[in-house]
Amino acid sequence: MSPNIDRPQVERVDPDGDDTATVTLTGRDLHYRVRVVVTSTGPQVAELSIINTKPGRVLTQSDLDRIPLHTLAVAVRHATSPITWAEIDRKLTWADLPADLTWDDLAKPGVLPRADDTPRMGRPPLSDHHLTEVAELVRRAQREGQSGRTIIASRWEVSISTADRWLREARKRGLLD
C-alpha cells in the first residue's frame, strides 16, 4: 500500500475573504469552508463548515474523522495570504531580495530566511549590495547632470532625508567619493 493513499489532495481552493476559503478535496463529496488563524506553529483552523454536495446524504462519524485539518489550514493560508512579513527574517531588507522574486515565490519553503524570535530594534541594516546599487545610480545620475539624491528618492520611493542617509553610509563605507 502506498504511503500517500490516504493523504487527501487539494483539488480547488476558492477564497471567500481574508483568511477564509472553501476547499474541495479530490474524490470527496464534501467541501469545507474554512477560516484560519496563524499561530507560532503555523496556520490553524479557527472555523469549519462542512458543505454536503449530495442531497439526502447525512454526515457520519467517519466523515468527521477524515477531515484533514492541517491540509485544509495550509491550503487556505496559501490561497488567502502566502506569507506575512512577521514570518520573514526581520533583518532582511528589500535590497537583499533577488530582483526576479515574485509574490508567489514568497510562499515557497526555503526561499526566504525565516524569522527568529529576536524583536526588531530600529531600522534594518543597510546591506552592501543595496549601498553599491545606490552608489552606481548616483554615479550615473552625476554623469547625466542630475541630482543623485533625487534619483535615489524616486527609484526607491523614499524621502530625500532617507536618500541622504544612504548616501552618507555609502561614502562612509568607501563606495562613493
Mean pLDDT, residues 125-129: 83
pLDDT per position as a tens digit, 83-101? 555 555 555 565 666 667 6
* Euclidean distance between CA atoms 102 and 157, whole angstroms: 19
32 inside domain: yes
pLDDT for position 2 = 43
Quick one: which of 69, 68, 50 has its CA closest to 60? 50
Give the type of residue at 64: L
105 inside domain: no
pLDDT per position as a tens digit, 20-74? 999 999 988 899 999 998 776 778 899 999 999 998 899 999 889 889 998 898 8
pTM comes to 0.46
The answer to whether 9 and 25 are in contact (CB under 8 A) is: yes
* Euclidean distance between CA atoms 95 and 115, whole angstroms: 17
Domain termination site, one of 41, 62, 80: 80
31 inside domain: yes
111 inside domain: no
Look up the domain containing 41 and give its range: 10-80
104 inside domain: no
Domain count, the chain: 2
113 inside domain: no
